[in-house]
Structure 1
């Protein structure tokens, strides 16, 4: 690769269980040469401003918490540019659907091999994001979109949306400046708004901006590689329509 990779990542932990957060800090000590834990929080409602100010690369985020659960915490942030690794005791279909938006999710008690896999995925995504910042495409004029969040309304250019991903009953907008904006509306509600020549829903969980597609890999439905390094599976039902629009 012709870009400089990140040598030390900054991480924070948000988990209402003090014992669980201490155990995770202990396990992450195995990665001390590449990751530094700069903050540990046990109350989600008090962590919003503090985590925003830490300039972290990744947040290890518990899902089931009093006050604000993990999803509500991200919504309260409104906009963030760090990666997320969920930690939870519950293996549900909802969390499996989140794997596209999050780097990974780890089931408690956290297995060392699973943590190692999550770290590999994290480093890959952070390095790809760093490369994308260096060689990001020019902004294109387009309509603006209002995204209401818990902290206010973001006005963004549609041309700066790389993809939109479902996260339970929320939608996560991935932008060209690496920000992620969480909106408490479903993907279905945004589909008509993004129904133009630039956007297409390629599976149940993702709408992509076709301007940022850099590669299509063959398969049952196939896989799209986007300019930010993400890889998104295409449903077999969408394959024919997608190829017609791409080629």
Structure 2
């Protein structure tokens, strides 16, 4: 049985999670509850849970500040939020699960299944550590790592070590500076949103490139980007002006 703590500033949200866990017979027992960040830190310290259901937006201190106050993070986290934009970029960067309120029972079931698998493996929770690094130094974007989950492992890759991304239906292939590539089971549009502020630009429906690895823009053959490794990346007609402007802006 997974031992869990719920931290949420609204008691009805805590009760709702508990009821869903019971109703759908999920292997979770609640060992602690808190309605604010400070009490949450104390409950975590006293119960040493396997799992933390953590509301992001709370009065006085938010969910991220709960994590900052803890010296160790020997538990899994499922964030719970009523907003689909509050802190989600940081969470996605570290491939950590989150649930939107009102909680969908099937999404809850899937989250618990993932937590159970991780606990069974007893691997160090590098995803959570990566999240904390992101939050502590959110303005130094060049130093952040992106969690890339393949079928075999989760790789943490500096954004500056990614040369480009290529779409393959619902999958995205990441090409790295060391010549290797990683196939991730998420569509490219999700990474476009995450990487836009890191000198990446969507030049084509199937391509997202790191501009610092662009050698030149070739105008012949309808136009394409020539990468440092001589790979040719097509440019969509409706994105050409945007690409030219981005190249001039970022390459200065």
Say whether the fold is shared (TM-score over 0.5).
yes
Larger radius of gyration: 2
Deviations 1:156-179 (A, max 9, x none): xxxxx9678654xx516xxxxxxx
Structure 2 counterpart of 1:12, from 5, 12, 15 = 5
Structure 2 counterpart of 1:75, from 68, 77, 86 = 68
Greater relative CO, 1 or 2 (CA 8 Å, sep 6+):
1
Per the alignment, in what secondary structure is the counterpart of residue 243 of structure 1? coil
Contact 2:37 2:65 in 1 (8 A): no
Deviations 1:128-167 (A, max 9, x none): 2x2x48xxxxxxxxxxxxxxxxxxxxxxxxxxx9678654
Residue correspondence of structure 1 range 29-178 to structure 2 within 5 A = 29-30=22-23, 32=25, 34-92=27-85, 94-101=87-94, 103-128=96-121, 130=122, 132=123, 167=131, 170-171=132-133
* Partner in structure 1 of residue 15 of structure 2: 22
* Partner in structure 2 of residue 230 of structure 1: 154
Per the alignment, in what secondary structure is the counterpart of residue 58 of structure 2? coil
Contact 1:13 1:39 in 2 (8 A): yes
* Partner in structure 1 of residue 215 of structure 2: none
Which has the larger share of helix? Answer: 2
Structure 1 counterpart of 2:138, from 182, 186, 191 = 186
- How many aligned residue pairs are there? 170
Per the alignment, in what secondary structure is the counterpart of residue 99 of structure 1? helix
Contact 1:85 1:102 in 2 (8 A): no
- Are residues 163 and 47 of structure 1, via their aligned partners in 2, closer, same or farther at CA, if it must alter by over 3 Å? closer
Deviations 1:102-145 (A, max 9, x none): 641100010111111111211122222x2x48xxxxxxxxxxxx
Deviations 1:60-89 (A, max 9, x none): 000110121001111111321101100010
Per the alignment, in what secondary structure is the counterpart of residue 94 of structure 2? coil
* Partner in structure 2 of residue 206 of structure 1: 146
Q: Distance in 2 between matches of 1:163 and 1:91?
A: 20
1:93 deviates by 6.8
Deviations 1:37-58 (A, max 9, x none): 1111112112212212212111
Contact 2:95 2:149 in 1 (8 A): no
- Are residues 119 and 162 of structure 1, via their aligned partners in 2, closer, same or farther at CA, if it must alter by over 3 Å? closer
Per the alignment, in what secondary structure is the counterpart of residue 171 of structure 1? helix
Q: Which runs of 5+ in 1 are unaligned?
A: 1-7, 134-160, 173-182, 192-203, 208-221
Per the alignment, in what secondary structure is the counterpart of residue 115 of structure 2? helix
Q: Distance in 2 between matches of 1:78 and 1:37?
A: 22
Q: Distance in 2 between matches of 1:43 and 1:163?
A: 24
